Each structure stands twice: as C-alpha cells, then as structure tokens.
Amino acid sequence: MATAAPGVFVPYGTTHWVALGVGVVGAVVLVVIGRRLRGRPAEAAFSRWFAVAILAFQIPLQLRLLTPERFDPDISLPLQLSDLSWMFAAYALWSHRWWACAPLYYWGLTLTPQAMLTPATDAPDFPHIEFVSFWGLHLLVTWAAIYLTWGAGVRPSWAGLRVTLAVTIAWAACVTTFNSVVGSNYGFLNRKPDNPSLLDLLGPWPWYLLVEFALVVIGWALITWPWRRVSPGAPVPRSG
C-alpha cells in the first residue's frame, strides 16, 4: 500500500478506499429510498431536505475560504465546475426542473467521479477539514445525481445534454478568461494539475482541452442514448 508523510492523503490508501466505499454504500441507500418514495409526497420532502443538507454543508465551507486569513484568489473562489455542480445539485433536488437536473446528471456521473478516483496527492488526510470538504462535496454531488436518476426517476434527455454542453462551454469560457487575468487555474483549464490525472493522457495544453471536450461529448451522448431508447418520454417526472 502507498505511504506518505503523516497527515497527508495517500491515493488508494486506507482513507481513499474508505471514502470510495462510503460513496458506494450511500448511493445504494439513496436509490432504495428514492424508489420507495417515488410518486409520493414524501419524495418531494426528502429531496428538499437533501438539498438543504447540501447547502448546510457547503455554504459554511465556502465562507471559510473567503475569510481574510484564508482567502487566496487561486483557490478560494467558487469557480470550479464542482462548485457549480453543488449549486445545481441543491436546486435540482429542490425543484426537479429538468434543465437543472441535466447538468447534475452529466457532471455528477462523469467529471465528479474522475476527481474522486484521481485526487490531489498532497491533500491533507482525514480528519482534516480539507479532506472532509473535498470528499463531502464530491460525494454529495454524485449522490444527488444518482438519487435523482435511479431513485426519484428523473430521466436524461437530448435536450438536457444540449443544455449541459451550453452551460459547460459558457463556464469554461468565463473561467479561462478569469484564469488568464489572475494567473489562477480553476478547472485546470489553463494548465494540467500537478498530480497525476487522466489529463496526462490527452496531450499538452491547449490540445488536451479539445480532446477532453470531444471525449466528454461522446461520453455524455453514450450515457444519454440508453435512456432515450427505453424511455423516450419527458425528461423528468415533473417540472417542479
């Protein structure tokens, strides 16, 4: 098993496997709950409590990063796609509006898991607050996507895919511009992360962005197609 200095997170060490295991167990539990509550008034109440839980977890952590003693324009601003993901997750759970559920499905089931499978190697380990913040955020977003899709019965659609691509492109354009001005690297849009990641297989900047986008489009289309074959109706059970 990999080792590192005390207090430093070790990829695929004990805490990494425990966190991934918690993610799997939590996903199964939420699917079971969602299916049992589907179509009942209690499902709307549970979804909204889930949304409140995400806000209650994430907002204090975000405010902590904005305090004067911790503020760093390179990392403190909520400009990562994961930040946009938890905002969409909370609103999607609260409203079940299809255009909010769609980005959550694609981000929460592809990009967010990738971050959990290849996390930063120099991050603090459990129980440091940065560990709790990272894993709490990514697990909650993934759980929300899984719950809405396989639990509550929200279904992806081609319209949802188009909305997600438009939102993602707009986010990338805005954040790339911000990175260029400030010298930050939100979203790894202006350079690759220092730790090993799947981006290392996609070539140098800026080509890895184009390859990544092409792979994303193909991947998102592939995880949309089966749903539309089986369930060609409305993308969500209700408009909210």
**Is 239 domain-assigned?**
no
* Cβ neighbour number for residue 175 with a 10 Å cutoff: 21
Nearest to 238 by CA among 154, 156, 157, 149: 154
The pTM for the full model equals 0.87
**Is 42 domain-assigned?**
yes
**Is 7 domain-assigned?**
no
Per-residue model confidence (pLDDT) at position 2: 45
Q: How many domains does the chain have?
A: 1
Distances (CA, A) of 46 to 16, 31, 37, 92, 210: 29, 12, 8, 13, 39
**Is 193 domain-assigned?**
yes
Per-residue model confidence (pLDDT) at position 121: 62
How far is Cα 118 from Cα 143, in angstroms, rounded to an integer? 18
**Is 93 domain-assigned?**
yes
**Is 5 domain-assigned?**
no
Per-residue model confidence (pLDDT) at position 231: 52
How far is Cα 195 from Cα 182, in angstroms, rounded to an integer? 22
How far is Cα 91 from Cα 63, in angstroms, rounded to an integer? 19
How far is Cα 63 from Cα 67, in angstroms, rounded to an integer? 7
Query: CA geometry: angle at 111 spanning 113 and 180, to 5°?
Result: 135
* Cβ neighbour number for residue 166 with a 10 Å cutoff: 11
For the stretch 119-177, pLDDT in tens is 866 678 888 898 999 999 999 999 999 999 999 999 999 999 999 999 999 999 999 99
**Which domain, by its residues, includes 131?**
14-230
pLDDT tier at 230, thresholds 50, 70, 90:
low
**Is 129 domain-assigned?**
yes
In this model, does residue 240 exceed pLDDT 70?
Answer: no
**Is 219 domain-assigned?**
yes
